Amino acid sequence: MMRPLLEQLEARASAGRPVSVALAGAGRFGTSIAAQISQMDGLRLAAVADPDAQNGADALRAAGWADDQWERCESPAAVQAAVEAGNAALAPDADALASAPIEVFVDATGLPDVAARNAREAMRRGRHVVMVTVEADVSCGWALAREARRQDVVYTLAAGDQPIAIMELFDWAVALGLDPVAVGRGTRLYPQDRHGDADQALARLGYNAETASRLRLNAQMYNSFRDGTKSQIEMCSVSNMTGLPPDCRGMHEPSAGLNELPNLFARRDAGGLLDRTGVVDLANAVAPDGTSEMPEHIATGVWAVVTCGDRRVREDLRIHGTRVSRDGERMLLFREYHLCGVETPLSIAQAALLGATSGAPRETPTSEVLAYAKRDLHPGDTLDGSGGQLVYGLIDRAKAVSADGVLPLGLAYGATVGAPVAADEPIPLDAVSVVRDSFVARLRDEACA
């Protein structure tokens, strides 16, 4: 797909008609997107929405705009006038972008309720949507994908983040007729991490105060990396794109280096971990001792264990350099890195120029992320969602929400606890009062109606 995409980008650049892009959320990820757009022909970041004007201004500068080329705008009319005059616009929120001539809307707010609302409104205005906020996608992405089909626009997850990096391996394998045994990403989860809180997350990840401020790191978001919730969320997104479920709640997440992955991700009767094949999972870089790291781990990368019914194909995959299981039946595909923000403009271009997604949820969800109590919960507590002080998330099949009566993580923002829940127990739906007027809750209700 790269050659036709490059040709289309070159054509738009030659015609002086770059794809116009709006960005909501100018944190670390959003600013990386802005900076990468500045390096590409055929794309132009025309507007940024962020309640922190300094963040938004920094993103516009990263996108190549001089200070006299962009305007602070409070209203849709002002944003429209600025963009139509050839300038960029900085707005306090996505509502102010309503009338601007924008082709692709990118949400990198990190706030599921805000992101879901932004995405639907953008699609109803005829804009393609690139969803960086994976927390929104796993909460109601299937409903947003349906909306995209109704509006004849594209809803896609963002290249550069692990879910689409995994999808690239998955799509390559399936297109060739290979059978995915398991697909996943690397993690770095220490025994004490599950109960960590946001106040300590950045320091535990090695960031001092100066670096955290310069990079504009969101402590709660980074705590979701550290407590394991983010990897559960991202694999739920992959599950809903591929239709592959987890083998068990929370997945196996074994400590593993590259050579062991094709051995571990096999059925139990073949010496592996799995009760079934065709699943999503994780590979932990932390060794079983809880302190050291596995040799040849893949903490920041993505992987897929595949097989093929044809002996000759399996042999070709082996002799040309893949890592193969001891029984010769399964091969490992992997990429040791992912490039958050750097590759996202490819999803922007694919949506605008090819009408294609990098990856989007199927019609109905395969999996959900379930809310678990990070500490003992008491009546009156207010849940704080992914990366917060009170909640972490574990993936399971979507039916667990109704069958087991467990609260989806996407509804654990602002919900009030009405009955005690012990630490490390799933939070029952009937133990909390969900914020029913949240956009995520309403969109889920509409999708089920």
Same structural domain for residues 285 and 306? yes
**Among residues 205, 240, 235, which one has the least CA distance to residue 220?**
205
| DSSP states of 139-201 | HHHHHHHHHHHHHT--EEEPTTSHHHHHHHHHHHHHHTT-EEEEEEEEE---TTGGG--HHHH
Same structural domain for residues 12 and 151? yes
Residue 220 counted as domain residue: no
Q: What is the reported pTM? A: 0.95
Same structural domain for residues 94 and 132? yes
Same structural domain for residues 155 and 175? no
Same structural domain for residues 432 and 412? yes
User: Are the CB atoms for 416 and 433 separated by under 8 Å?
Assistant: yes
* Residue 282 β-bridge partners: 185
Same structural domain for residues 390 and 416? yes
CA distances for 205 relative to 174, 229, 286, 391, angstroms? 36, 15, 14, 19
Same structural domain for residues 7 and 120? yes
Q: Looking at residue 111, what is its pLDDT?
A: 94
Q: Looking at residue 285, what is its pLDDT?
A: 98
Residue 212 counted as domain residue: no
Residue that is last in its domain, among 324, 354, 384: 354
- The CA distance from 418 to 379, in Å, is 5
Same structural domain for residues 312 and 174? yes
Residue 78 DSSP class: H
- The CA distance from 326 to 319, in Å, is 14
User: Are the CB atoms for 231 and 282 separated by under 8 Å?
Assistant: yes
Residue 243 counted as domain residue: yes
Same structural domain for residues 302 and 379? no
- The CA distance from 174 to 172, in Å, is 6
The parent domain of residue 350 ranges over 2-160+341-354
- CATH value at residue 410: 3.90.1210
Query: How long a stretch of residues is the chain?
Result: 449
Residue 196 counted as domain residue: no
Counting Cβ atoms within 10 Å, is residue 368 exposed (0-12), middle (13-18) or buried (19+)? buried
**Among residues 198, 254, 255, 257, which one has the least CA distance to residue 225?**
198
| Strands 382-384 and 413-417, sheet pairing | antiparallel
Residue 47 counted as domain residue: yes
Q: Report the SS3 class of residue 426.
A: strand
- For residue 284, give both structure tokens: 């932990």
- The CA distance from 192 to 203, in Å, is 15
Angle at CA 254, nearest 5°, toward 250 and 259?
140
- The CA distance from 85 to 124, in Å, is 24
Residue 215 counted as domain residue: no
Same structural domain for residues 17 and 137? yes
- CATH value at residue 32: 3.40.50.720
What residue ranges of the chain have pLDDT lower than 50? Answer: none
- The CA distance from 49 to 38, in Å, is 18
Q: Looking at residue 218, what is its pLDDT?
A: 80
- The CA distance from 418 to 380, in Å, is 6
Residue 202 counted as domain residue: no
Residue 259 counted as domain residue: yes
Same structural domain for residues 183 and 278? yes
Q: Looking at residue 1, what is its pLDDT?
A: 66
Same structural domain for residues 26 and 112? yes
Domain count, the chain: 3
Q: Looking at residue 449, what is its pLDDT?
A: 64
